[in-house]
Structure 1
Amino acid sequence: MEWKRLGLTSAAPSDFTLEALRQVVPSAFTEVKDEDDRLTYKVDFDRLREMLGDVIADADEERFGFYWVGKQEAKRKAAEPTRKTLRPVVKESVAWESTQNLYIEGDNLEVLKLLQTAYIGKVKMIYIDPPYNTGNDFVYSDNFTMSRQAQDWAMGNLDEEGNRLRRNLDSNPRYHSVWCSMIYSRLLVARTLLSNDGVIFISIDDNEIHNLRKICDEVFGASNFVNNIVCVSNAGGDKGNYIETTKQYILVYAKNISNLQDKFGVYQTENIDTYSLSDEIGRYKKGSQLEKWGNDATIYTHPNLGYSIYYNESNGDIIIKHDYNHKELLANRQIEMIYEQPDAELIANGYICIRPRVNNDGNPGRWRIEKKTFEDRLASNSFIFERQSNNTIKIYEKNRYK
């Protein structure tokens, strides 16, 4: 068996880009031999320009774009292969031999590059929560030519793992540029991991939302913007400039938005203030009655939907009984509906017998759900028992806030 020696560096993002381009325009590539006399492919730019025609921008043309000090360096850092590797930590792991989960610690730019070889184009969803750049956030510094490690330790520029960190103070003349370079390089690499129907979610606040949106438009394409989710993070408000801040954001971008059909459900939002009631589970409002109303609201159409509910108002206890001529009703739906007499022992112990009302046409009514379903939902505290002005008890569903 012939063993192939693996390289010590990760593949460069340009390798993946060139391979994708070669699949689209193979005639724009030519075969050449590298320094080791191996056959490889190179871009024939003259041929590529010829194929693209007039859509190539001239160097002197004015164009729209978002630029900052350090952008080109950040782009270079993203394209630069890494020589780092992953070191397994078996002692701190759980179910090392059988787990299908992976937790990686380290500089996220280096980690993203390491993931490219195995996961490029395979990740369905990425969520990141980067520093918000509040003026006191620590950000990874990608300038590895600064002072010696000993000086870094003395200055507090390294974390516990030896990763180089800097506090991005708002007094820094390149305050926004430092943050933009940090996030730009990481998003460039993260995009290569997304599958064609993949989506990325990015948490952020007011400090950099405007810059992040421009960077994402460039990295993912403005046409792949899905939405900007506004999240109420503090209803009481945080200290702001004259007006208190209550919200943060989640920017959502797709790898290719045309592939997102049927990937997202659509929900209509409601005002939480309409859910004025609450219990140990959360907020809710009074919903539909358990009794069925309408043309088919009779036990004859649904024989399984008649049963007695015994409710003890003092302690909330509930007992359910099928105490009517169920079998005969199934055989002959035109028989006179007769419930058994209410359970005298339960009545004596303070229970109230609740049954579907008799309809205006004289036919016995029914509930909207079967006994088993009612019991299951009763266990999750899904009903309101409410005494009416005529001293009867009505049962309503709890519509919970979602």
Structure 2
Amino acid sequence: MALDAESGTLSPLPDVLSHGLVAVSTFGLLSFFCSTSLFCYITWRLISWHRYSRVKAPTNQFLLLIYHLLFADIQQACAFMLNVGALRNNAILVGTPLCFAQGWFVSTGDLASSVFICAIAVHTFFSVVKNYRLPTKAFYCAIAGCWTFIYSMAAIGPIIHGRNFYVRAAAWCWINQAYGRERLWLHYFWIFVAMFSTILIYTFVYIWLRAKSRAGDISKQTVHGATPLMILYPLIYTVCTAPLASLRIYALAGHTVSLGWFCMAGTMIACNGWLDVLLYASTRADIVFAELPPSEETGLGTFVFMGRSLQEPGMAVSQGVQSESRIGFARKSQESVNTERLYSMGNISIKGEVIVTTTSVGDASIGRSRLGNETTASSEPMSTTWDMRSKKSSES
């Protein structure tokens, strides 16, 4: 298949690309550095916990979702960082391994980033609203299914159309403009589905938190700290991703888009990686930077906004709310809590056990009788019994 002028090699680069691709490459490099750094840090933590922890508990699901999002951001950053090759050669060379690699990373990186940001939104919904998390095996299968879907969407085109599938697409290499259906159904349709799903999910969580706050089920301080995050998460993702996606759809409809607009949109989407690192590392720091393996808890108490945890100390006790947790499809009602954790630190083992027992408050009874002008009232004072036992032992 012969390539048209808009899909073939472009040499030399016009001034708009010579300047515009510098910004795209710079932010792509920044995202690659930030995403790779945090990815390597979490990898080291996961290996350390697996090797040295005596208790082999399942890894926190939200941490694993961030881990896979970082891997997606690395691929996306690679795509835009490869524009350095075009700047060095002063040309976009079609038919080279560099062009094919860039097209591949654009397809996998953009789609993977959207899929896992949507997966984080779904996980947040079930953790905060439903107090539910998938069983470990089902969660791992879902992660594997996401990556299978992502790489299948990227591989179908080259398998069917061969080497002419990834060619120059305006300002960098991507899917040939002759394959408009493939651009839509293998890529941007799913990106828009993920984008609108993410916005709708966080909007629902925001409304739910406000309703719970008005009903008094959740403290206003906690809600006021969490609700900005429910706006911030989809906002950053949409601002970075929507411009390029919209321009591609606009061009797919037969309109002409200047190279300058593509450079602007490419710069914004290249910021996805370092913004994700900044956002999730700061708002979920208790999970991302935990020294010991974080618990499986991923609810509202694990969010951090402006450097402060959103869970108030003693909130569950002071409100006197009976807690419920559902793991898989099982529901457990708890009136007494017996929590035991065991961590290993070298040759020292520390075991902590906390037992809390509560006795319900006695009802006050008031009797009144009236005889003439005389009124008598008797009442029994409320009695509360609180027994807390804390036992800690250490052995070396």
What is the TM-score of this pair, normalised by structure 1?
Answer: 0.23
Structure having greater relative contact order (Cα 8 Å, sep ≥ 6): 2
Q: Which has the larger radius of gyration?
A: 1
What is the TM-score of this pair, normalised by structure 2?
Answer: 0.23
Instruction: Give the number of the structure whose residues are more often helix, by fraction.
Output: 2
